[in-house]
Amino acid sequence: MTTHDTKTKVDTPDVTFPTGFVWGAATSAYQIEGAVAEDGRSVSIWDTFVRQPGRVLDGDDADVAIDHYHRYRDDVRIMSELGLTAYRFSMSWPRLQVDGKGPLNPRGLDFYKRLVDELLAAGIDPWVTLYHWDLPQALEDAGGWPSRDTSKRFADYATAVHAALGDRVRNWSTVNEPWCAAFLGYASGEHAPGRREPAASIEAAHHLLLAHGLAVEGMRAQGLQTRIGGSVNLYAVSPATSSEADHDAVRRIDGLQNRFFLDSLLLGHYPEDVLSDLSKVGDLGFIKDGDMETIAAPIDMLLINYYSRFTVSGAPGGAVSAAAAPTDAGSPWVGSESIGFVNGGRPVTAMGWEVDDTGLHEVLLRLAAEYPAIPLVISENGAAYDDEVTPDGAVHDTERLAYIDAHLRTCHSAIEAGVPLEGYFAWSLMDNFEWAWGYGKRFGLVYVDYPTQERILKDSALWYAESIRLGGLRNLSAQ
Protein backbone atom coordinates (compact mmCIF):
# COMPACT_ATOMS: atom_id res chain seq x y z
CA MET A 1 0.00 0.00 0.00
CA THR A 2 1.20 3.52 -0.71
CA THR A 3 0.24 6.47 1.47
CA HIS A 4 0.96 10.11 0.90
CA ASP A 5 1.06 13.22 2.99
CA THR A 6 -0.06 11.60 6.22
CA LYS A 7 1.10 14.56 8.28
CA THR A 8 -1.43 15.36 10.94
CA LYS A 9 -3.35 18.61 10.81
CA VAL A 10 -4.59 20.01 14.11
CA ASP A 11 -7.39 22.22 12.84
CA THR A 12 -10.64 22.42 14.73
CA PRO A 13 -13.69 21.15 12.88
CA ASP A 14 -16.43 23.65 12.13
CA VAL A 15 -18.97 20.83 12.26
CA THR A 16 -18.80 18.15 14.96
CA PHE A 17 -20.78 14.90 14.92
CA PRO A 18 -22.31 13.37 18.03
CA THR A 19 -20.21 10.97 20.06
CA GLY A 20 -20.78 7.44 18.80
CA PHE A 21 -21.54 8.55 15.24
CA VAL A 22 -20.60 5.64 12.98
CA TRP A 23 -17.83 6.53 10.52
CA GLY A 24 -17.74 3.76 7.97
CA ALA A 25 -17.01 2.69 4.44
CA ALA A 26 -18.77 0.01 2.41
CA THR A 27 -18.10 -2.64 -0.23
CA SER A 28 -19.88 -5.73 -1.54
CA ALA A 29 -18.71 -9.31 -2.03
CA TYR A 30 -18.93 -9.72 -5.78
CA GLN A 31 -17.40 -6.32 -6.42
CA ILE A 32 -14.21 -6.98 -4.44
CA GLU A 33 -13.63 -10.60 -3.47
CA GLY A 34 -12.57 -12.43 -6.63
CA ALA A 35 -11.77 -16.09 -5.90
CA VAL A 36 -14.96 -17.06 -7.66
CA ALA A 37 -14.07 -20.73 -7.91
CA GLU A 38 -12.34 -21.24 -4.56
CA ASP A 39 -13.24 -23.10 -1.41
CA GLY A 40 -16.46 -24.54 -2.73
CA ARG A 41 -18.06 -21.31 -3.91
CA SER A 42 -20.84 -22.00 -6.40
CA VAL A 43 -21.80 -19.94 -9.43
CA SER A 44 -23.83 -16.74 -9.07
CA ILE A 45 -25.99 -14.95 -11.62
CA TRP A 46 -23.21 -12.39 -12.02
CA ASP A 47 -20.65 -15.08 -12.92
CA THR A 48 -23.00 -16.16 -15.69
CA PHE A 49 -23.90 -12.64 -16.78
CA VAL A 50 -20.33 -11.35 -17.15
CA ARG A 51 -19.62 -14.21 -19.54
CA GLN A 52 -22.40 -13.18 -21.92
CA PRO A 53 -21.03 -10.93 -24.69
CA GLY A 54 -22.10 -7.30 -24.49
CA ARG A 55 -23.35 -7.40 -20.91
CA VAL A 56 -20.44 -5.63 -19.22
CA LEU A 57 -18.40 -2.80 -20.63
CA ASP A 58 -15.14 -4.04 -22.18
CA GLY A 59 -16.09 -7.61 -21.30
CA ASP A 60 -14.76 -7.18 -17.75
CA ASP A 61 -15.48 -9.88 -15.19
CA ALA A 62 -14.96 -10.13 -11.42
CA ASP A 63 -13.11 -13.43 -11.30
CA VAL A 64 -10.26 -11.65 -9.53
CA ALA A 65 -11.86 -8.26 -8.87
CA ILE A 66 -9.57 -6.63 -6.28
CA ASP A 67 -8.57 -9.95 -4.80
CA HIS A 68 -9.95 -9.07 -1.38
CA TYR A 69 -10.51 -12.77 -0.63
CA HIS A 70 -6.75 -13.15 -0.40
CA ARG A 71 -5.83 -9.63 0.68
CA TYR A 72 -8.45 -9.05 3.37
CA ARG A 73 -5.87 -8.68 6.12
CA ASP A 74 -4.09 -5.88 4.24
CA ASP A 75 -7.44 -4.28 3.50
CA VAL A 76 -8.41 -4.33 7.17
CA ARG A 77 -5.06 -2.67 7.91
CA ILE A 78 -6.03 0.12 5.51
CA MET A 79 -9.38 0.51 7.32
CA SER A 80 -7.48 0.70 10.56
CA GLU A 81 -5.17 3.34 9.21
CA LEU A 82 -8.19 5.37 8.15
CA GLY A 83 -9.65 5.01 11.63
CA LEU A 84 -12.97 3.58 10.39
CA THR A 85 -15.24 2.72 13.27
CA ALA A 86 -17.30 0.39 11.08
CA TYR A 87 -17.02 -1.54 7.83
CA ARG A 88 -20.08 -2.59 5.83
CA PHE A 89 -19.56 -5.54 3.52
CA SER A 90 -21.76 -8.22 2.02
CA MET A 91 -21.52 -11.95 2.25
CA SER A 92 -21.62 -14.02 -0.88
CA TRP A 93 -24.61 -16.36 -0.85
CA PRO A 94 -23.07 -18.76 -3.42
CA ARG A 95 -19.92 -18.91 -1.30
CA LEU A 96 -21.81 -19.63 1.89
CA GLN A 97 -24.49 -21.96 0.65
CA VAL A 98 -23.72 -24.03 -2.40
CA ASP A 99 -26.43 -23.53 -5.02
CA GLY A 100 -28.54 -21.67 -2.45
CA LYS A 101 -29.67 -24.61 -0.37
CA GLY A 102 -28.54 -26.99 2.33
CA PRO A 103 -26.03 -26.51 5.14
CA LEU A 104 -23.53 -23.66 5.11
CA ASN A 105 -20.28 -24.30 3.30
CA PRO A 106 -17.68 -24.47 6.14
CA ARG A 107 -14.88 -23.09 3.98
CA GLY A 108 -16.94 -20.10 2.90
CA LEU A 109 -18.02 -19.48 6.47
CA ASP A 110 -14.44 -19.70 7.64
CA PHE A 111 -13.47 -16.83 5.34
CA TYR A 112 -16.10 -14.55 6.84
CA LYS A 113 -15.21 -15.63 10.38
CA ARG A 114 -11.59 -14.72 9.74
CA LEU A 115 -12.60 -11.38 8.22
CA VAL A 116 -14.91 -10.55 11.12
CA ASP A 117 -12.29 -11.54 13.69
CA GLU A 118 -9.70 -9.40 11.93
CA LEU A 119 -12.11 -6.44 12.00
CA LEU A 120 -12.99 -6.93 15.65
CA ALA A 121 -9.32 -7.20 16.58
CA ALA A 122 -8.77 -3.87 14.82
CA GLY A 123 -11.65 -2.28 16.73
CA ILE A 124 -13.80 -1.98 13.58
CA ASP A 125 -17.47 -2.89 13.88
CA PRO A 126 -18.53 -5.32 11.12
CA TRP A 127 -21.85 -4.45 9.43
CA VAL A 128 -23.03 -7.37 7.33
CA THR A 129 -25.30 -7.26 4.31
CA LEU A 130 -26.69 -10.68 3.46
CA TYR A 131 -27.62 -10.07 -0.17
CA HIS A 132 -25.91 -7.68 -2.54
CA TRP A 133 -27.13 -9.08 -5.86
CA ASP A 134 -25.14 -12.32 -6.22
CA LEU A 135 -28.00 -14.81 -6.39
CA PRO A 136 -26.86 -18.43 -6.72
CA GLN A 137 -27.33 -19.38 -10.38
CA ALA A 138 -29.14 -22.55 -9.35
CA LEU A 139 -31.89 -20.42 -7.81
CA GLU A 140 -32.16 -18.31 -10.95
CA ASP A 141 -32.47 -21.53 -12.93
CA ALA A 142 -35.37 -22.43 -10.65
CA GLY A 143 -37.13 -19.13 -11.45
CA GLY A 144 -35.04 -16.44 -9.72
CA TRP A 145 -36.59 -13.60 -7.75
CA PRO A 146 -39.90 -13.74 -9.65
CA SER A 147 -40.35 -17.12 -7.95
CA ARG A 148 -41.83 -17.00 -4.44
CA ASP A 149 -39.65 -19.89 -3.34
CA THR A 150 -36.51 -17.73 -3.67
CA SER A 151 -37.78 -15.65 -0.72
CA LYS A 152 -37.93 -18.78 1.44
CA ARG A 153 -34.51 -19.90 0.26
CA PHE A 154 -33.11 -16.49 1.24
CA ALA A 155 -34.68 -16.64 4.69
CA ASP A 156 -33.11 -20.06 5.28
CA TYR A 157 -29.71 -18.80 4.19
CA ALA A 158 -30.00 -15.59 6.22
CA THR A 159 -31.03 -17.35 9.42
CA ALA A 160 -28.23 -19.91 9.06
CA VAL A 161 -25.60 -17.19 8.62
CA HIS A 162 -27.08 -15.14 11.46
CA ALA A 163 -26.97 -18.18 13.73
CA ALA A 164 -23.33 -18.80 12.83
CA LEU A 165 -22.07 -15.22 13.17
CA GLY A 166 -24.63 -13.44 15.33
CA ASP A 167 -22.35 -13.82 18.34
CA ARG A 168 -19.77 -11.49 16.79
CA VAL A 169 -21.66 -9.36 14.25
CA ARG A 170 -24.13 -6.97 15.80
CA ASN A 171 -25.46 -5.04 12.80
CA TRP A 172 -27.19 -6.91 9.96
CA SER A 173 -28.87 -5.84 6.80
CA THR A 174 -30.93 -8.21 4.68
CA VAL A 175 -31.22 -7.15 1.05
CA ASN A 176 -29.30 -4.29 -0.54
CA GLU A 177 -31.21 -2.01 -2.91
CA PRO A 178 -34.11 -4.27 -3.87
CA TRP A 179 -35.06 -1.69 -6.54
CA CYS A 180 -31.87 -2.47 -8.45
CA ALA A 181 -32.08 -6.23 -7.99
CA ALA A 182 -35.66 -6.25 -9.28
CA PHE A 183 -35.82 -3.59 -11.97
CA LEU A 184 -32.26 -3.56 -13.33
CA GLY A 185 -32.10 -7.35 -13.11
CA TYR A 186 -35.53 -8.29 -14.51
CA ALA A 187 -36.91 -5.22 -16.38
CA SER A 188 -34.09 -3.28 -18.04
CA GLY A 189 -31.74 -6.26 -18.06
CA GLU A 190 -28.79 -4.01 -17.32
CA HIS A 191 -27.86 -6.21 -14.37
CA ALA A 192 -27.82 -9.96 -13.87
CA PRO A 193 -29.69 -12.05 -14.71
CA GLY A 194 -30.36 -9.69 -17.61
CA ARG A 195 -34.02 -10.52 -18.13
CA ARG A 196 -36.32 -7.99 -19.78
CA GLU A 197 -39.64 -9.02 -18.38
CA PRO A 198 -41.43 -6.04 -16.83
CA ALA A 199 -44.23 -8.08 -15.26
CA ALA A 200 -41.75 -10.54 -13.75
CA SER A 201 -39.71 -7.64 -12.34
CA ILE A 202 -42.68 -6.56 -10.20
CA GLU A 203 -42.88 -10.09 -8.79
CA ALA A 204 -39.14 -9.94 -8.19
CA ALA A 205 -39.53 -6.69 -6.24
CA HIS A 206 -42.27 -8.20 -4.10
CA HIS A 207 -40.31 -11.37 -3.45
CA LEU A 208 -37.16 -9.45 -2.54
CA LEU A 209 -39.22 -7.56 0.05
CA LEU A 210 -40.84 -10.78 1.21
CA ALA A 211 -37.37 -12.35 1.49
CA HIS A 212 -36.38 -9.45 3.71
CA GLY A 213 -39.42 -9.89 5.94
CA LEU A 214 -39.08 -13.67 6.23
CA ALA A 215 -35.39 -13.28 7.04
CA VAL A 216 -36.11 -10.68 9.73
CA GLU A 217 -38.66 -13.04 11.32
CA GLY A 218 -36.26 -15.99 11.21
CA MET A 219 -33.27 -14.06 12.52
CA ARG A 220 -35.29 -12.45 15.32
CA ALA A 221 -36.59 -15.82 16.45
CA GLN A 222 -33.01 -16.80 17.28
CA GLY A 223 -33.03 -14.37 20.20
CA LEU A 224 -29.55 -12.97 19.53
CA GLN A 225 -28.55 -9.47 20.60
CA THR A 226 -28.34 -8.14 17.06
CA ARG A 227 -29.83 -5.20 15.18
CA ILE A 228 -31.49 -5.92 11.85
CA GLY A 229 -32.46 -3.63 8.99
CA GLY A 230 -32.75 -3.44 5.23
CA SER A 231 -31.03 -1.15 2.71
CA VAL A 232 -32.93 0.90 0.16
CA ASN A 233 -31.66 3.30 -2.49
CA LEU A 234 -33.58 6.55 -2.29
CA TYR A 235 -33.61 9.61 -4.52
CA ALA A 236 -34.96 13.10 -4.31
CA VAL A 237 -37.25 13.59 -7.30
CA SER A 238 -38.19 16.97 -8.81
CA PRO A 239 -40.37 17.96 -11.75
CA ALA A 240 -38.64 19.46 -14.79
CA THR A 241 -41.35 22.13 -14.96
CA SER A 242 -44.46 22.98 -12.98
CA SER A 243 -46.68 21.23 -15.55
CA GLU A 244 -49.24 18.66 -14.47
CA ALA A 245 -47.49 16.03 -16.63
CA ASP A 246 -44.18 16.63 -14.86
CA HIS A 247 -45.80 16.42 -11.43
CA ASP A 248 -47.34 13.14 -12.44
CA ALA A 249 -43.89 12.00 -13.56
CA VAL A 250 -42.62 12.79 -10.04
CA ARG A 251 -45.47 10.80 -8.53
CA ARG A 252 -44.61 7.79 -10.68
CA ILE A 253 -40.82 7.81 -10.29
CA ASP A 254 -40.93 8.67 -6.59
CA GLY A 255 -43.58 5.96 -6.27
CA LEU A 256 -41.55 3.18 -7.84
CA GLN A 257 -38.16 4.23 -6.53
CA ASN A 258 -38.97 5.38 -3.01
CA ARG A 259 -42.55 4.87 -1.78
CA PHE A 260 -42.96 1.30 -3.05
CA PHE A 261 -40.15 0.24 -0.70
CA LEU A 262 -40.62 2.67 2.19
CA ASP A 263 -44.39 2.25 2.48
CA SER A 264 -44.15 -1.54 2.40
CA LEU A 265 -41.26 -1.83 4.83
CA LEU A 266 -42.37 0.85 7.27
CA LEU A 267 -46.14 1.13 6.84
CA GLY A 268 -47.10 -2.38 5.76
CA HIS A 269 -48.76 -1.56 2.45
CA TYR A 270 -47.82 -0.64 -1.10
CA PRO A 271 -48.87 2.82 -2.28
CA GLU A 272 -52.27 2.55 -3.99
CA ASP A 273 -51.31 4.77 -6.93
CA VAL A 274 -48.21 2.66 -7.66
CA LEU A 275 -50.23 -0.56 -7.47
CA SER A 276 -52.69 0.96 -9.90
CA ASP A 277 -49.88 1.85 -12.36
CA LEU A 278 -48.30 -1.59 -12.00
CA SER A 279 -51.57 -3.49 -12.37
CA LYS A 280 -51.63 -2.29 -15.99
CA VAL A 281 -48.38 -4.18 -16.57
CA GLY A 282 -49.33 -7.51 -15.06
CA ASP A 283 -51.56 -9.36 -12.63
CA LEU A 284 -50.55 -8.63 -9.03
CA GLY A 285 -52.13 -11.80 -7.67
CA PHE A 286 -48.75 -12.92 -6.37
CA ILE A 287 -49.25 -10.58 -3.39
CA LYS A 288 -50.74 -13.04 -0.91
CA ASP A 289 -52.62 -12.50 2.34
CA GLY A 290 -50.16 -11.89 5.14
CA ASP A 291 -47.28 -10.87 2.87
CA MET A 292 -47.46 -7.21 3.82
CA GLU A 293 -47.35 -7.99 7.55
CA THR A 294 -44.27 -10.11 6.91
CA ILE A 295 -42.58 -7.41 4.83
CA ALA A 296 -43.26 -4.85 7.55
CA ALA A 297 -41.76 -7.02 10.31
CA PRO A 298 -40.31 -4.52 12.81
CA ILE A 299 -36.73 -3.54 12.03
CA ASP A 300 -34.16 -1.82 14.21
CA MET A 301 -32.86 0.59 11.59
CA LEU A 302 -33.29 1.63 8.00
CA LEU A 303 -30.18 1.78 5.86
CA ILE A 304 -30.27 4.39 3.11
CA ASN A 305 -28.14 4.55 -0.01
CA TYR A 306 -28.22 8.03 -1.51
CA TYR A 307 -26.36 9.27 -4.58
CA SER A 308 -28.35 11.83 -6.54
CA ARG A 309 -31.55 13.60 -7.51
CA PHE A 310 -33.77 12.81 -10.47
CA THR A 311 -35.40 15.60 -12.44
CA VAL A 312 -38.25 14.13 -14.42
CA SER A 313 -40.50 15.08 -17.27
CA GLY A 314 -43.83 13.66 -18.35
CA ALA A 315 -43.77 15.55 -21.63
CA PRO A 316 -43.79 13.40 -24.76
CA GLY A 317 -40.27 12.98 -26.06
CA GLY A 318 -38.74 14.04 -22.75
CA ALA A 319 -37.03 10.68 -22.26
CA VAL A 320 -33.35 11.57 -22.08
CA SER A 321 -31.83 9.33 -19.47
CA ALA A 322 -29.53 11.16 -17.08
CA ALA A 323 -28.02 7.86 -16.04
CA ALA A 324 -27.77 5.94 -19.26
CA ALA A 325 -26.77 2.28 -19.06
CA PRO A 326 -23.33 1.44 -20.49
CA THR A 327 -24.70 -1.51 -22.42
CA ASP A 328 -27.82 -2.21 -24.41
CA ALA A 329 -30.69 -2.12 -21.90
CA GLY A 330 -34.42 -1.59 -21.67
CA SER A 331 -36.20 0.66 -19.18
CA PRO A 332 -36.30 -0.18 -15.46
CA TRP A 333 -39.28 2.17 -14.98
CA VAL A 334 -41.96 -0.45 -15.26
CA GLY A 335 -45.29 1.06 -16.26
CA SER A 336 -43.68 4.50 -16.58
CA GLU A 337 -41.25 3.86 -19.42
CA SER A 338 -42.03 7.10 -21.21
CA ILE A 339 -40.97 9.34 -18.33
CA GLY A 340 -37.98 11.49 -19.22
CA PHE A 341 -34.95 12.07 -17.01
CA VAL A 342 -33.57 15.50 -17.72
CA ASN A 343 -30.45 17.29 -16.66
CA GLY A 344 -31.26 19.58 -13.76
CA GLY A 345 -28.22 21.74 -14.47
CA ARG A 346 -25.99 20.54 -11.63
CA PRO A 347 -22.43 19.22 -11.94
CA VAL A 348 -22.31 15.51 -12.65
CA THR A 349 -20.03 12.70 -11.55
CA ALA A 350 -18.35 10.27 -13.95
CA MET A 351 -21.57 8.23 -13.86
CA GLY A 352 -23.49 11.23 -15.17
CA TRP A 353 -25.26 11.48 -11.80
CA GLU A 354 -26.02 15.00 -10.63
CA VAL A 355 -24.33 16.09 -7.45
CA ASP A 356 -26.98 17.33 -5.04
CA ASP A 357 -26.61 17.06 -1.31
CA THR A 358 -29.86 19.01 -0.82
CA GLY A 359 -31.58 15.89 -2.13
CA LEU A 360 -30.17 13.91 0.76
CA HIS A 361 -31.54 16.49 3.16
CA GLU A 362 -34.95 16.16 1.56
CA VAL A 363 -34.84 12.36 1.76
CA LEU A 364 -33.85 12.37 5.44
CA LEU A 365 -36.39 14.98 6.50
CA ARG A 366 -39.11 13.22 4.56
CA LEU A 367 -38.35 9.96 6.33
CA ALA A 368 -38.52 11.67 9.68
CA ALA A 369 -41.77 13.47 8.81
CA GLU A 370 -43.74 10.81 6.92
CA TYR A 371 -42.70 7.49 8.44
CA PRO A 372 -42.57 5.99 11.93
CA ALA A 373 -39.49 7.03 13.89
CA ILE A 374 -36.66 4.59 13.32
CA PRO A 375 -32.87 4.93 13.55
CA LEU A 376 -31.40 5.78 10.14
CA VAL A 377 -27.98 5.10 8.71
CA ILE A 378 -26.48 6.26 5.41
CA SER A 379 -25.21 2.89 4.22
CA GLU A 380 -23.84 4.18 0.90
CA ASN A 381 -22.95 7.58 -0.44
CA GLY A 382 -20.14 8.55 -2.75
CA ALA A 383 -19.13 9.40 -6.27
CA ALA A 384 -17.23 8.05 -9.25
CA TYR A 385 -14.64 10.28 -10.87
CA ASP A 386 -11.93 9.60 -13.44
CA ASP A 387 -9.06 9.36 -10.97
CA GLU A 388 -5.45 9.41 -12.03
CA VAL A 389 -2.27 8.70 -10.18
CA THR A 390 -0.14 11.82 -10.58
CA PRO A 391 3.65 11.75 -10.97
CA ASP A 392 4.01 12.29 -7.21
CA GLY A 393 2.25 8.94 -6.77
CA ALA A 394 -0.88 10.50 -5.26
CA VAL A 395 -4.52 10.66 -6.34
CA HIS A 396 -5.84 14.20 -5.94
CA ASP A 397 -9.55 13.48 -6.02
CA THR A 398 -10.74 16.88 -4.94
CA GLU A 399 -14.21 16.45 -6.44
CA ARG A 400 -14.91 13.25 -4.48
CA LEU A 401 -13.61 14.85 -1.32
CA ALA A 402 -15.91 17.84 -1.84
CA TYR A 403 -18.84 15.53 -2.63
CA ILE A 404 -18.44 13.55 0.59
CA ASP A 405 -17.79 16.66 2.64
CA ALA A 406 -21.00 18.26 1.34
CA HIS A 407 -23.08 15.14 1.99
CA LEU A 408 -21.66 14.71 5.47
CA ARG A 409 -22.51 18.33 6.22
CA THR A 410 -26.04 17.56 5.09
CA CYS A 411 -26.11 14.60 7.46
CA HIS A 412 -25.00 16.88 10.24
CA SER A 413 -27.68 19.44 9.54
CA ALA A 414 -30.31 16.69 9.40
CA ILE A 415 -29.17 15.46 12.81
CA GLU A 416 -29.44 19.03 14.12
CA ALA A 417 -32.96 19.13 12.71
CA GLY A 418 -33.82 16.07 14.81
CA VAL A 419 -33.36 13.24 12.28
CA PRO A 420 -32.20 10.09 14.13
CA LEU A 421 -29.21 9.50 11.86
CA GLU A 422 -26.62 7.23 13.45
CA GLY A 423 -23.88 6.93 10.92
CA TYR A 424 -22.42 7.24 7.46
CA PHE A 425 -20.73 4.70 5.17
CA ALA A 426 -18.80 6.06 2.21
CA TRP A 427 -19.21 4.09 -1.00
CA SER A 428 -16.78 2.70 -1.53
CA LEU A 429 -13.78 1.85 0.59
CA MET A 430 -11.83 0.80 -2.53
CA ASP A 431 -12.23 1.02 -6.29
CA ASN A 432 -13.94 -2.11 -7.50
CA PHE A 433 -16.06 -3.88 -10.12
CA GLU A 434 -18.88 -1.44 -10.91
CA TRP A 435 -21.36 -3.97 -12.33
CA ALA A 436 -22.24 -3.28 -15.98
CA TRP A 437 -19.53 -0.61 -16.03
CA GLY A 438 -16.84 -3.15 -15.17
CA TYR A 439 -13.70 -1.45 -13.90
CA GLY A 440 -14.52 1.70 -15.86
CA LYS A 441 -15.82 3.68 -12.89
CA ARG A 442 -13.93 4.34 -9.68
CA PHE A 443 -15.87 5.05 -6.48
CA GLY A 444 -13.14 4.24 -3.95
CA LEU A 445 -11.55 6.30 -1.22
CA VAL A 446 -8.65 3.98 -1.97
CA TYR A 447 -7.32 3.72 -5.51
CA VAL A 448 -6.65 0.22 -6.80
CA ASP A 449 -4.14 -0.31 -9.57
CA TYR A 450 -5.85 -3.34 -11.08
CA PRO A 451 -2.83 -4.95 -12.80
CA THR A 452 -0.71 -4.92 -9.62
CA GLN A 453 -3.50 -4.74 -6.99
CA GLU A 454 -1.57 -1.93 -5.31
CA ARG A 455 -3.75 0.17 -3.03
CA ILE A 456 -3.12 3.95 -2.87
CA LEU A 457 -4.94 6.19 -0.43
CA LYS A 458 -6.59 8.98 -2.40
CA ASP A 459 -6.73 12.49 -0.98
CA SER A 460 -10.35 11.80 -0.05
CA ALA A 461 -9.22 8.86 2.10
CA LEU A 462 -6.65 10.99 3.91
CA TRP A 463 -9.23 13.70 4.46
CA TYR A 464 -11.81 11.15 5.65
CA ALA A 465 -9.28 9.73 8.12
CA GLU A 466 -8.67 13.19 9.47
CA SER A 467 -12.41 13.88 9.74
CA ILE A 468 -12.87 10.67 11.70
CA ARG A 469 -10.02 11.59 14.00
CA LEU A 470 -11.52 15.06 14.54
CA GLY A 471 -15.04 13.68 14.85
CA GLY A 472 -16.11 16.37 12.40
CA LEU A 473 -15.33 18.41 9.32
CA ARG A 474 -12.86 21.20 8.84
CA ASN A 475 -13.91 24.16 6.76
CA LEU A 476 -12.37 23.28 3.38
CA SER A 477 -12.62 26.78 1.98
CA ALA A 478 -10.70 28.21 4.93
CA GLN A 479 -7.50 26.32 4.00
Catalytic entry in 33, 118, 140, 177? 177
With CB under 6 A as the rule, give the number of residues binding ligand IFM: 8
Q: Considering the complex, state which of residue 31 and residue 137 has its C-beta at the smaller distance from ligand IFM.
A: 31
Q: Considering the complex, state which of residue 63 and residue 110 has its C-beta at the smaller distance from ligand IFM.
A: 63
Least distance from ligand IFM to the Cβ atom of residue 437, Å: 8
Choice from 15, 23, 25, 28 touching ligand IFM (CB under 6 A)? 28
Q: Considering the complex, state which of residue 166 and residue 438 has its C-beta at the smaller distance from ligand IFM.
A: 438
Catalytic entry in 190, 203, 354, 380? 380
Cα–Cα distance for residue pair 395/398, rounded to 1 Å: 9
CB atoms within 10 A of CB 344: 17
What part of residues 356-385 is at the interface with ligand IFM (CB under 6 A)?
380
Least distance from ligand IFM to the Cβ atom of residue 61, Å: 16
Site membership for ligand IFM, residue 171 (CB under 6 A): no
Cα–Cα distance for residue pair 222/226, rounded to 1 Å: 10
What part of residues 258-297 is at the interface with ligand IFM (CB under 6 A)?
none
Least distance from ligand IFM to the Cβ atom of residue 77, Å: 23
Choice from 305, 311, 331, 410 touching ligand IFM (CB under 6 A)? 305
Least distance from ligand IFM to the Cβ atom of residue 433, Å: 8
Cα–Cα distance for residue pair 130/208, rounded to 1 Å: 12
| 380 included as an active-site residue | yes
Q: Considering the complex, state which of residue 134 and residue 246 has its C-beta at the smaller distance from ligand IFM.
A: 134
Binding string, residues 399-428; x marks residues near ligand IFM by CB under 6 A: ----------------------------x-
Least distance from ligand IFM to the Cβ atom of residue 62, Å: 11
Q: Considering the complex, state which of residue 177 and residue 203 has its C-beta at the smaller distance from ligand IFM.
A: 177
Site membership for ligand IFM, residue 177 (CB under 6 A): yes
Binding string, residues 193-222; x marks residues near ligand IFM by CB under 6 A: ------------------------------
Least distance from ligand IFM to the Cβ atom of residue 117, Å: 25
Binding string, residues 224-263; x marks residues near ligand IFM by CB under 6 A: ----------------------------------------
Q: Considering the complex, state which of residue 28 and residue 42 has its C-beta at the smaller distance from ligand IFM.
A: 28
Least distance from ligand IFM to the Cβ atom of residue 398, Å: 20
Site membership for ligand IFM, residue 434 (CB under 6 A): yes
Task: List C-alpha distances in Å: 434 to 29, 30, 56, 196, 269.
Answer: 12, 10, 9, 21, 33
Q: Which residues bind ligand IFM (CB under 6 A)?
A: 28, 31, 177, 305, 380, 427, 434, 443
Q: Which residues are catalytic?
A: 177, 380
